[in-house]
A and B are shown apart, each in its own frame.
Chain A
């Protein structure tokens, strides 16, 4: 099955700096890569996703890049703010399509230092 590795497990950055979280995946058939944010005590929520037919996608301060050849994708957050503090999960679809579920990385705890 799909294996998704996520690094780092904890990331501490100064407010206003950028943060980058990286993920690798194993299944070359995977073609959908979402990112979920989970604030303390709350449910995970989708913040951005990318499909394999594009290399980069931006939404205001967040962006995701995808390198299909190397099987890795990254989340970039610029101008970090206190409300960005959360656990972030990357994911990849199993088998490249259908409703077979997502395999998630183990999560990155992002801490924004004031």
Chain B
């Protein structure tokens, strides 16, 4: 079974800190995604990548950046964390075209104080 692993389940950071969220998948998927989930707002796409070193902005990229140096790993970076970035962050991966299902990680609940 596909495994998408996020490095932390809960994370507490201070305003202004640089934050790294890591995601690793073990199924050689081409596509990887970062979503944030907020109550009443659903899942919103931050960034995605369809190949190593490739990245594309999603719907809400402001305040975030990403890195994909290896196929299995996709990192989300908050350059200077702010309180409005407190959220649940979900990583996902898929193979081939967008017609393939997304496999989600278990999420990282980030609190910025």
Residues in chain A within 8 A of chain B (CB atoms): 1, 6, 9, 32, 34, 36, 42-46, 49, 51, 89, 91, 93, 97-107
- Which A residue sits closest to B48, measured CB to CB? A101
- Say whether A44 contacts B106, CB under 8 Å: no
- Which B residue sits closest to A106, measured CB to CB? B42
Residues in chain B within 8 A of chain A (CB atoms): 30-31, 33, 35, 40-45, 48, 50, 56, 58-59, 90, 94, 96-99, 101-102, 104-107
- Say whether A99 contacts B43, CB under 8 Å: no
CB < 8 Å A-B pair total = 67
Enumerate chain A residues within 8 angstroms of B105, measured Cβ to Cβ. Answer: 43
Sorted nearest first, the 4 A-B pairs with minimum C-beta distance are: A106-B42, A43-B104, A46-B101, A104-B43
Supply 6 further A-B pairs (C-beta < 8 A) apart from A49-B101, A104-B43: A51-B99, A97-B98, A99-B48, A99-B98, A100-B98, A101-B56
- Which A residue sits closest to B54, measured CB to CB? A99
